[in-house]
Structure 1
Amino acid sequence: MNINLDVELVEQEEATKLVLSGEIDAYTAPILKESLLPLTQQEGAEIIVDLEKVNYMDSTGLGVFISALKSSKEYSSSLKLVHLQDRVHRLFKITSLDSIITIDTTVRGGN
């Protein structure tokens, strides 16, 4: 089984979109962190993370998003997660991170 994470950066007029596909775990979280944190460190930037094609995430991934949230507050940028599959969204709900991270509540399929 090939465990990987693909990261695509899409520059939009109003925001920078990070489109992720694959799995976010202890092996791939550093790739996410390397891609996401510098975006949050741009003063006033708007970052949208598209998780539609992420079918698995563990606590390591949550840690990266917590770091990104702290960084975005420090640099007055905004961070929004969109298109979460149900199992990934559940992880944010169980840990109550959905109350501090902006998440588009339109939950996509998956278990």
Structure 2
Amino acid sequence: MIKISEELLAKFNANPLYSKDGQGTNAEVIAKFYVPFSEACWLITEASQEGDDWLMFGYCHIFEWEFGYVSLSEIMELNIKGITAQIDNTLPRGCTIKDCLKKIPFAEH
């Protein structure tokens, strides 16, 4: 289960949607979500609150890597045979998409 900390909420608030336009894989990742035992991964760079939910943007992988939008509720509701999405609490500060991809075994380098 994903627990949203005050620190993560502060990162979301400090990095609204469209704040990193044009940065591509040099954009700083503010949150990394993943599904254990799979290749599902979301490298979130921006987020804006919409009602009780957060609309997020980042570099995401389900079947292939692509930039796109996802809501926090979509990630939190994901359940694959009892396995749910997790947040990577070891993500270092200042880590860019490019940096993260170097640490993901299935990512193309």
Which structure has more RCO (C-alpha within 8 Å, separation ≥ 6)? 2
Q: Does TM, normalized by the shorter one, top 0.5?
A: no
Flag the structure with higher helix content: 1
**TM, length-normalised to structure 1:** 0.27
* TM-score (norm. length: structure 2): 0.27
